[in-house]
Structure 1
Amino acid sequence: MLSLIQKDNLNDYLELSEVVDYNNPEIQLKARELAQGLEQVEMAKTIYHFVRDEIDHSLDIGSDEVTCRASEVLKKGHGLCFAKSNLLAALLRFMEIPTGFCYQTLTHEDGFVIHGLNAVYLSGEWFRLDARGNRDDVDAQFSMDNEKLAFSTLEEGEDDYPYIFSKPDKRVVNALSTWGSVDEVMKTIPTAL
């Protein structure tokens, strides 16, 4: 497990932004519904499971539609890993749980691609969570003991960045906001931080 490095002030991990738009009424309603009556850790776990299991990964369902803003991901019910991480951040931040953005460089087809995930601040520590969505070859879990992410960086050229950013990578947001298809996004996503 990596020693995680907080890049910004803890309060920055609670900020509202254009893509982490927890001022949206649907985001607020869903967060309250999922968190009702739960303590902070159980709340985070329930919200994580919702994003991982109820919001599809666009590639897994064969959708070519691109989503980016958290409210858009919630409404459409799918997104790439980056979009899903925006939704997880929005739901958790609305419930006042500091949430950041983390990245890995992974092998993809004939090259490399950045993969997005989150880190949450619970019980005075940061824990990385990957809400990408499980499938036969992916088994990400909520764990505060041992990380159980969607992917391990085992291949030559892959990288697991220890940094926790308060904002998603601008190049990733730009790709999600610019291109009209998942295929185009996958061709233009950065290959490294």
Structure 2
Amino acid sequence: MNKVMYLEFERCIGCRACQAACRECGDHDGKERNYVEYVDFMESRQTYPMMCMQCTDPACARVCPANAIQITEEGVVLSAMEEKCIGCRNCTFGCPFGIPKFDFEENKMYKCDMCYDRTQHDISPMCASVCPSDAIRFIDFEEMQELRRRRTQLNLVEGKKPTEQDKWQYVPEFFGVYSD
């Protein structure tokens, strides 16, 4: 798979179409596995999409004593396998992004798995396929690199200095989700 999820937070319009589409994805049992968060609810209504960052060395998988979180050959970090998950919730505490959620009724963890049933065939995840503002895109790695280059050049032309958030956009330890 040479495609990646590309997020542009400032494009998010807060419509939550990504969440609705996620609930409709094949094996999600009507539960959304991505979220729309407020940047600062007290100051603004600006939102941003939040989903699993698909880390190359995921903390959620490292802290799972039952080895229930599998990583595909392509590097996609999947939700906990039902038959292995013991409900310890280490994954929810270990993830620095707070992504894995625990279902107390079913006693198992679930999280965004980039709609692996779709992305393994180069079909966009549900969230990316419905995002009206292109805040979430499933694009080729090279296209993502070009978008980032253009964005950096535009910022330099406009005289913007790199912010703390800009440092995160170039951190290489995330496999499939990149943000600007």
Q: Larger radius of gyration, structure 1 or 2?
A: 2
Q: Which structure exhibits the higher relative contact order, with contacts defined as CA atoms closer than 8 Å and separated by 6 or more residues?
A: 2
Higher helix share: 1
TM norm. shorter chain > 0.5 = no
Normalized against structure 2, the TM-score is what? 0.28
Normalized against structure 1, the TM-score is what? 0.27
